[in-house]
């Protein structure tokens, strides 16, 4: 439904964004990236950069992830947006076998006393990386902390059960 609309009004940023996000959800990484790049060109917005980074990651084009991360990091539009980018960048590093670097990148916000949802998302990704690296104790600690702050968020109960 969105493709004909995008052809009819190619200069409508909201249509390009929605089409790009829909294609992303469908796993059509290349076309999603194309639409989201058009959206970014039209608006100058950084709000879909983590999604664009994730498209590059899914396509195994890590230099694209690196480039967008650097741009997002330097611009630092909002804590939530940078946190999403940091999660994708850490995943990209882990995909390349650079678990210590991925862990360092996400460890930055691991001691926040009053976490927001984006902190919990970072902790979850960090706990997952610790588990992948074989550090079950740290993984369990982070999953427990997430569970203590928001018991219903993510699948922390299942992850904790699996680590016992």
3-class DSSP string for the chain: CHHHHHHHCCCCHHHHHHHHHHHHHCCCHHHHHHHHHHHHHHHCCCCCHHHHHHHHHHCCCHHHHHHHHHHHHHHCCCHHHHHHHHHHHHHHHHHCCCHHHHHHHHHCCCCCCCCCHHHHHHHHHHHHHHHHCCCHHHHHHHHHHHHHHCCCCCCHHHHHHHHC
Report the pLDDT value the prediction gives residue 111, as an integer from 0 to 100. Answer: 78
Report the pLDDT value the prediction gives residue 70, as an integer from 0 to 100. Answer: 96
Report the pLDDT value the prediction gives residue 16, as an integer from 0 to 100. Answer: 95
Report the pLDDT value the prediction gives residue 108, as an integer from 0 to 100. Answer: 80
Blockwise average pLDDT, block size 10, the chain, 164 residues: 85 94 97 97 96 98 98 90 97 97 89 89 96 96 92 90 89
């Amino acid at each position: 439904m969105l493709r004909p609309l995008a052809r009819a009004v190619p200069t409508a940023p909201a249509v390009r964004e929605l089409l790009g996000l829909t294609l992303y959800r469908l796993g059509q990484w290349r076309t999603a990236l194309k639409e989201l790049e058009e959206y970014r060109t039209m608006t100058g917005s950084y709000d879909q950069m983590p999604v664009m980074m994730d498209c590059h990651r899914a396509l195994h084009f890590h230099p694209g992830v690196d480039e967008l991360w650097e741009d997002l990091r330097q611009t630092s539009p909002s804590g939530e947006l940078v946190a999403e980018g940091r999660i994708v960048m850490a995943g990209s590093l882990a995909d390349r076998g650079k678990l210590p670097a991925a862990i360092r990148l996400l460890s930055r916000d691991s001691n926040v006393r009053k976490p927001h949802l984006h902190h919990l998302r970072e902790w979850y990704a960090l706990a997952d990386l610790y588990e992948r690296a074989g550090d079950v104790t740290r993984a369990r600690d982070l999953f427990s902390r997430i569970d203590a702050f928001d018991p219903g968020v993510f699948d922390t109960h299942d992850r904790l059960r699996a680590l016992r």
